[in-house]
Structure 1
């Protein structure tokens, strides 16, 4: 079984703000059995060299917590947590902050990533895809926290993102207290409204490499003191969720040499409640986290015993459905054992889904009794999302998924009705936008391909208006340029190209250099030369494999600033710089 490593958060620890007190502080943290600390930028930037050397002196490892589009100190307002909702700002910040964390020797980077307004759409996926590329180049594991204001702020959005095949390698830091606050409830698998929760928890567990052990409640992200008896239900629920996560980690990391991180993370006011007028905290934060550390050790040990037992004798698949509450080892399935039984349920030792509590009046509840069995309750249809987007995406990714869904539903897949009212208009506008992007991509690609056949072009600079400066749409547009003509694309995959798109907020550019042209032009060098000529606030991704034509593709953006940098003018500079680079650096 993997080894548990405990981190001590420096959030809310007054001594963390004073480098003169670090030596004594780190000695105390080590003496209490912690293996490392988690710190934000303000802490280590106070005195980097002393911070690193004292951690090394006391044998403590470092987890860096970063906040994309944040991390700086504003003299007027204090710490800047999140200053932008723009994709390029968050990507540029992520690259900068992760590099800074690696230079400090961090063993793990915990990122508060992106902006909640992106939902689970193209911007969110684009951010995480680029984050995975950066992480691979960095060589330091990066987890993305389930935190309010950020991309994984909600269990529903997080489940959609974590289900995407292109994000299979994404790692998360599970701070599930935030989700209790966002949804105003502690999730209960025995409640018919929460029958989605076990599957979502298992999905989180598959991606989780770090646990923030803080207990939330329906009206906030932190109970005042987890030792208080009035919070026993919330503590028990969270503990069962952590055990599910740790069991999944044990399955992924069976070696005794593997280590998994957890951290008691109850925080200072305003997370910690205070008395009115005096503002005195209602509990001692250090003691709260010390007690929670012991609870984490105990729960993790229990999870490892359960995991070892299940390895020796694998359990049956977990039961599910709103008519059933698991008995006995309910916590193994991510359900809170303290939540059953409830009124309206009867216990059956040999029910159709195993021992447990079954809703009265159902065939499952009557099984094993003298009552005649009635028809089995209908199997609920799989969820397809309010606007059908998940179903449509699944069909696009896997052509035979419709047949599979039809089999599950016992008939044909029902047509997905478009949202009504304003949502319907928005969906129509979005579809029209995508059609315009695709049509322009095909047209530009066809032109470039024709010029290449005529021997007039091998390297090209072009612009696209339909994406409107949206980087993810421009990437889609270039994909259409490269797609073969037989598949409805422009057929320009063998043309090395830099394509620009100007919008109100930014200038975006996508550079694609196919494998056949890589000896002539390096995509990253070409992009850097253009960005240097434009100047301003820029974002540039690392080169990534191009899906069509081979070679590499680089994404970049230049932010409008309301002054010197206006996207249309920047595009003119960029087109000139791109052509100049080709004239100077491309072999004849």
Structure 2
């Protein structure tokens, strides 16, 4: 099967050209990132990505407005800005956890309209604080909206439900069947990100996530689809830190490259 890997721009503190050089050298296919509205800044980013032979996945995370009218207006602006860059796909942290089904559906419908107009796939991330913040809530959306496709970041659900979802198998299976993209961060019962997936104390939890991702991979293989994965371990304070100094307990870049190599070996060898 064909699998492509993307590095998160989130957390990068290097000059963007240096970052892209490192992304290419590590063996990624591209970068997942948000884009500025400033045309000059956006053009510089896209030229740098092209220079290094990388692809982009557009990322929308700015679902901050409480007022639905303003929220929907800005949602469309951000999506059109990402569409203009012709990304591989657009991944959205859509809506709010306190919006009603119909309010969030309005945003899903808007994204579907823009996707149909542009020919660019727009999917919706399972993320805390957003519409798809919990397994059972997402199950309801996916059941009622059969065309809805998601980015599966199941680490959030482990945190939300304070479990490894042992009692939510139907919801998990439905989400796996609709997953068109993965964020391969590893969460646990008390947080959305373990401190270091290389540490032996996390073996069981890492294996649980790998088994979930394996089922997404199998679904893609059967459908003949390219599987896309962003290794999205985040910086502090997603990355746990030491008290007082706020020193991260692991290096974000090193952890993500470890996940890249692990998943490449698992799915491409």
Pick the TM interval, shorter chain: over 0.9
- CA–CA separation in structure 2 for the residues paired with 1:130 and 1:153: 19
Which of the pair has more CA radius of gyration?
1
2:244 to 260, 271, 277: 277
Which residue in 2 is equivalent to 1:228? 199
Describe how 1:153-232 pairs up with structure 2 within 5 A. 153-164=133-144, 167-188=145-166, 194=167, 196-197=168-169, 199-232=170-203
Describe how 1:33-432 pairs up with structure 2 within 5 A. 33-41=27-35, 47-67=41-61, 70=62, 82-119=63-100, 121-164=101-144, 167-188=145-166, 194=167, 196-197=168-169, 199-252=170-223, 254=224, 258-301=225-268
Question: For the aligned residues, what is the CA RMSD?
Answer: 1.8
Instruction: Give the direction of change, closer, same or farther, for the CA distance of 1:96–1:201 in structure 2 (3 Å limit).
Output: same
- CA–CA separation in structure 1 for the residues paired with 2:198 and 2:119: 39
C-alpha deviation, 1:33, in angstroms: 0.7
> Which ranges of structure 2 fall in alignment gaps of 5 or more residues?
none
Which residue in 1 is equivalent to 2:18? 24
Superposed CA offset, 1:209-231 (max 9, x none): 11000000100000000011111
TM-score by length of structure 2 reads 0.94
> Which ranges of structure 1 fall in alignment gaps of 5 or more residues?
16-20, 71-81, 189-193, 303-588
TM-score by length of structure 1 reads 0.44
C-alpha deviation, 1:42, in angstroms: 5.1
- CA–CA separation in structure 1 for the residues paired with 2:32 and 2:220: 21
- CA–CA separation in structure 1 for the residues paired with 2:178 and 2:37: 28
Where relative contact order (Cα < 8 A, 6+ residues apart) is larger, the structure is 2
Superposed CA offset, 1:102-150 (max 9, x none): 212322111110111125x222223222321221112111110000110
- CA–CA separation in structure 1 for the residues paired with 2:13 and 2:37: 11
Residue 9 of structure 2 contacts residue 31 of structure 2 at CA under 8 Å; is this kept in 1? yes
